[in-house]
């Protein structure tokens, strides 16, 4: 893992796949992931962990199935939201969005329980971020 800074815009521009998060760094036992999204994800739940969303660009909607019924939260650029562990949720974005996510390393992008995973959703624990050759940071980047 790189010890220098990571430019999130450069990280996001290094891949095109939707719903296919890239791990930009780790904090203790957590992955910091970026993802590009558009359309609908899949209803799913993480039984043992909360899921943190930060919208870097665009708008994200997260439908939630809660004891009192379903509701949808709308997150604009710069908004954060945490889906509590065990809550079924379905992220979507009509016009596309870029996200930053915090999840324990090894957490599946489709959770522990989920509907059938459509072809456009990557069921992954996060892919390594492609960094340009010769660009491994020495920690002195400014």
Residue 54 is assigned to a structural domain of this protein: yes
Residue 133 resides in a domain = no
Any domain includes 140: no
pLDDT, tens digit (0-9, with 9 covering 90-100), for 2-15:
578 999 999 999 99
Q: Which residues of 102-112 are buried (b: 16+ CB within 10 A; e: fewer)?
A: bbeeebebbbe
Q: Is residue 118 part of a domain?
A: yes
Which pLDDT does position 132 carry in this prediction? 55
* Domain count along the chain: 1
pLDDT digits (tens, 9 = 90+) for 22-71: 999 999 999 999 999 999 999 999 999 999 999 999 999 999 999 999 99
Is 107 a domain residue?
A: yes
Domain membership of residue 138 (yes or no) is no
pTM more than 0.85: yes
| 92 in a structural domain | yes
| pLDDT bracket for residue 141 (50, 70, 90) | very low
Q: Are 13 and 34 in contact (CB under 8 A)?
A: no
Residue numbers of the domain that contains 91? 8-128
Give the max Cα distance, the chain. 53
Q: How many CB atoms lie within 10 A of CB 60?
A: 25
CATH number for position 69: 2.60.120.10
How much of the chain, in percent, has pLDDT values that exceed 90?
73
**Does 115 score more than 50 pLDDT?**
yes
pLDDT tens across 100-113, in order? 999 999 998 888 88
How far the first Cα of the chain sits from its last, in Å, is 18
Report yes or no on 35 lying in a domain.
yes
The better pLDDT of the pair 140, 57 is held by 57
- Cα–Cα distance between 141 and 132 in angstroms, integer? 15
């Amino acid at each position: 893992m790189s010890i220098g800074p990571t430019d999130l815009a450069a990280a996001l521009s290094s891949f095109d796949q939707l719903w296919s998060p890239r791990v930009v760094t780790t904090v203790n036992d957590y992955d910091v992931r970026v993802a590009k999204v558009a359309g609908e994800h899949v209803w799913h739940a993480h039984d043992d962990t909360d899921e943190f969303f930060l919208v870097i660009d665009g708008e994200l909607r997260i439908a939630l199935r809660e004891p009192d019924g379903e509701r949808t939260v709308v997150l604009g650029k710069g908004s954060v939201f945490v889906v509590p562990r065990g809550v079924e949720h379905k992220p979507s974005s009509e016009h596309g969005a870029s996200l930053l996510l915090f999840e324990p390393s090894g957490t599946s992008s489709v959770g522990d329980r989920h509907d059938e995973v459509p072809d456009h959703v990557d069921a992954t624990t996060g892919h390594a971020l492609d960094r340009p050759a010769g660009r491994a940071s020495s920690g002195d980047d400014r």
